[in-house]
Structure 1
């Protein structure tokens, strides 16, 4: 999946990600029996939300700030 999608999902709150995953799960169930293959796409998006949510929980547990290139240029103290 796109890193842009991961970044966008990471900016959402946990509640917003859960609401999105719920809606996308419903879409996956609706489209799963159809020949278009859209069910698999929606399921992949739900998996992506779960992955980002798990990574955000790990980041919060470690209490680290997201890495930025600007911070990388600063000398360590």
Structure 2
């Protein structure tokens, strides 16, 4: 029986730099929340992260299958 391996296109080229920046920002915001920042900021950061991952799943295959131009 074949195992299921999910494909996260947001972690692949060319989207991985944006994903990395968002994850680092989430960690920093989580640290700030523990120090007394408004938790609504964390909720907004989580929503932005989820939106980016869904967007990455939809545009990732299109970017990977785009024809490569030689200059």
Q: TM-score when scaled to structure 1?
A: 0.47
TM (norm. structure 2) is 0.49
The structure whose residues are more often helix, as a share, is 1
